[in-house]
Structure 1
Amino acid sequence: MSGLSIAVCGAGVIGQAHIRLIQALPARRGWLKGIIDPMPQAQAQAEMLGVRYSEHLVRALDEWRPDAVIIASPNALHVEMAGACIARNIPLLVEKPLADNVADAFALAHLAEERDVPLLVGHFRRHNPVMRAARDLLAKGGLGRLVSVNADVTVCKPDAYFNVPWRTQSGGGPVLINLVHDIDALRYLCGEIESVQAVTSNAARGFEVEDTAAVLLRFTSGALATLTLSDATPSPWCWDQTSGENKDFARHQGQCYRLCGTEAALELPGLIRWHYAGQKGWTQPLSAQPLAYEPGDPLALQLDHFLRVARREEQPMVSGKDGAATLAATMAVLEAARTGRTVTPARNCQPA
């Protein structure tokens, strides 16, 4: 086999998605070397697929010597496992978040950079062709100067979801589980976040962790964004339920992001540009222009990109520092809500 041999560490939900996509690759591009996970069902899966199995990452790295590794383990293990790969000069994709705290995330990013080991962080929404088309439109001035953004992240998680105890405790709420995707998406589209204000509530479910949040972001460009988050409301207005990106979610017609510029506005994920065909002004009719793009599976596109990153043919779309900056901005939401103060994520962005 001439393709890259890939080990997957962590055989949970997202790990299974990676395994499925790797198995679908032509062997000349990449193939599954083995699965690393302590659970018995992971060993059974490895045997069924005819690939190697190990409970321990370090042992697998030294014995298998894979060309690349995907880390989809619990968040608390990301830094240790990624460090083991970097020490062996093995290119790696680490699922979000890069670490479970900002200092460790930046330290890991700096380590990969110093050792010149390719590191891609798994914020796969950036690989969605809709996101790329929107970013290109903004870069070309298709909206004029961006002035405001509104993003809805509102869903209804079933009661059974909370049977897992950590999901009701600090760190297990929708800010770190869900909103992190939207913050990364807005950083990708709109640039760096200068400051964060936020309020959270647990009134709907009464758990220790938040179920609802209202967030205000200021970007370094001067644009402002408001984000409404809740996992306790029957609502179609979130990326997962409007984009069709994840087939596990029922898809609904609707838009969850609205980006407003001085010349036009854009709705996502529909990629609909609103503008005046003639004279500008609120008494005049607006035209809605659906923009063309080529659909694609963002997880599959991310894997394609990772293979090129591992071969050093491309720079990572989401570098270690980029992933750490998204984590810093997300943690700033919780800090702003806790303290009632405006928080600047950049203050969190120093390596340990």
Structure 2
Amino acid sequence: MAQTQKLAVVGAGLVGKRHIAAIGQVPGVELVAVVEPGPCDQTVPVYPDLDALFAAKDVDGVILSTPTLLHVQGAMACVERGIPVLIEKPLAASADDAEGLVRAAATIGVPILVGHHRRHNPIIQKTAELIKEGAIGKVRAAQVTCWFYKPDDYFDLASWRKKAGAGPISVNLVHDVDLMRHFLGEVVTVQAQMAPSMRGFENEDLAAAVLRFESGAVCTITVSDSVVSPWSWELTSREYPIYPATNESCYLIGGSEGALSIPDMRLWQHEGGTSWWNPIKATAMPVSSSDPLINQIAHFEDVIRGRANPLVTGEEGLKTLRVVEAIQIAAQTQTTIHLGNKAAKSVVVVDKISDIL
């Protein structure tokens, strides 16, 4: 029988507690420690920082669910010790910092995973499969809506959420950008707008972007944490029971032969030929249901044991972060941002939007 893999969670906030709960649902792993400088009600040993953890415990893997500014420092401490690490999204506070981490991990040969957990959701896996199989033909367009209203106490519980760089572009939209890359390929240009926080915080609370992909597909994407709406992944996917569920969809993906609405998984196609004169009907696509955070922990175990390669590698997290940065820069500078080959590195030059209208 394989030895149980010992895991530690760094940061016991909202997301950290979800990881802790997920670990308890996966055979073959166990939580042996938590790192949390503040009060913590966990039954396992709690340490104030990573140095104290590593001095006291041998662990097989670490999950980092700290504020974004601490991701690289914490991940490097794990990588330097040869310990596989699962890092919550976004990978780092900046793409340049993330690039250094990814390079170091590759050089040392330590796997890093990025917590874009939605890729572990069967709904997302089924969508990617349908697109790859050509169920909607050549993908031409996508529309993403990420609107919700975060209450004031969400920000009061963690003051870093009010700071510049911690707005919904980096905290929330990063998930949706990652999935559009997963479905549609690499982004080549970005245009964007954003608005300052109505609550008076340092960050934005509303943004919109237009992404163009190497394939020629175009995606429009909007996010706000100050809009009352049923159209967000949280409220439509039934992924996390704490959110009230709606029967709406938040992603629409259109192709030359059909369209998909997600997460209700309806495939729309014309009968008797692709023409707006012909009847169009929806077919519900069968899909299984399971908790992506539990699936992600099971996958992390497989990576630690050498049975699998990371589903969302550090390089993938870096590419998504490059696009998120491009959205922020495009909104701030009112320029079109061109991304380098395969979105590996952004090239911030080009045209003022006013010059191309």
C-alpha distance in 2 between matches for 1:250 and 1:235:
11
| Cα contact 1:71–1:78 (8 A) shared by 2 | yes
Match of 1:151 in 2: 144
Aligned CA distance change for structure 1 residues 294 and 219 (closer, same or farther; 3 Å): same
Q: Deviations over 1:21-57 (max 9, x none)?
A: 212333xx11111111111x32x42xxx2x2221121
In terms of mean alpha carbon deviation, does 53-62 or 296-305 score higher? 53-62
Aligned CA distance change for structure 1 residues 208 and 76 (closer, same or farther; 3 Å): closer
Match of 1:79 in 2: 72
C-alpha distance in 2 between matches for 1:34 and 1:61:
10
> Which of 181, 190, 194 matches 1:187?
181
SS at match of 1:334: helix
Matched pairs, number: 343
| Cα contact 1:4–1:67 (8 A) shared by 2 | yes
Alignment of 1:217-228 (within 5 A): 217-228=211-222
C-alpha distance in 2 between matches for 1:8 and 1:158:
26
| Cα contact 1:5–1:68 (8 A) shared by 2 | yes
C-alpha distance in 2 between matches for 1:199 and 1:61:
44
C-alpha distance in 2 between matches for 1:137 and 1:327:
26
Shift of residue 204, structure 1, vs aligned partner: 4.6
Match of 1:36 in 2: 35
1:161 aligns with 2:161: no
C-alpha distance in 2 between matches for 1:71 and 1:207:
26
Match of 1:261 in 2: 255
C-alpha distance in 1 between matches for 2:301 and 2:329:
37
| Cα contact 2:190–2:338 (8 A) shared by 1 | yes
C-alpha distance in 2 between matches for 1:33 and 1:102:
32
1:246 aligns with 2:240: yes
Alignment of 1:107-126 (within 5 A): 107-126=100-119
> Which of 285, 288, 310 matches 1:291?
285
Q: Percent identity?
A: 38
| Cα contact 2:266–2:284 (8 A) shared by 1 | yes
Report the residue type matching 2:35 in the other structure: I
| Cα contact 1:194–1:220 (8 A) shared by 2 | yes
C-alpha distance in 2 between matches for 1:130 and 1:4:
28
| Cα contact 2:236–2:249 (8 A) shared by 1 | yes
Match of 1:18 in 2: 19
Unaligned runs of 5+ in 1: none
CA RMSD of aligned residues (A): 1.8
Shift of residue 152, structure 1, vs aligned partner: 0.6
C-alpha distance in 2 between matches for 1:215 and 1:275:
28
C-alpha distance in 2 between matches for 1:32 and 1:204:
40
Aligned CA distance change for structure 1 residues 57 and 208 (closer, same or farther; 3 Å): closer
Shift of residue 307, structure 1, vs aligned partner: 0.5
Report the residue type matching 1:131 in the other structure: I
Match of 2:6 in 1: 5
1:308 aligns with 2:302: yes
Report the residue type matching 1:237 in the other structure: W
1:55 aligns with 2:56: no
C-alpha distance in 1 between matches for 2:170 and 2:134:
32
C-alpha distance in 2 between matches for 1:65 and 1:167:
32
1:135 aligns with 2:134: no
C-alpha distance in 2 between matches for 1:7 and 1:160:
28
Report the residue type matching 2:31 in the other structure: L
Shift of residue 171, structure 1, vs aligned partner: 1.3
In terms of mean alpha carbon deviation, does 272-281 or 164-173 score higher? 164-173
Shift of residue 206, structure 1, vs aligned partner: 4.9
Aligned CA distance change for structure 1 residues 30 and 12 (closer, same or farther; 3 Å): same
Runs of 4+ displaced beyond 6 Å: none
Report the residue type matching 1:226 in the other structure: T
| Cα contact 1:193–1:345 (8 A) shared by 2 | yes
Shift of residue 73, structure 1, vs aligned partner: 1.4
| Cα contact 2:26–2:298 (8 A) shared by 1 | no
C-alpha distance in 2 between matches for 1:227 and 1:56:
38
Higher relative contact order structure (alpha carbons within 8 Å, sequence separation ≥ 6): 1
SS at match of 1:338: helix
In terms of mean alpha carbon deviation, does 83-92 or 152-161 score higher? 152-161
SS at match of 1:344: strand
Report the residue type matching 1:325 in the other structure: K
SS at match of 2:73: helix
C-alpha distance in 1 between matches for 2:201 and 2:32:
42
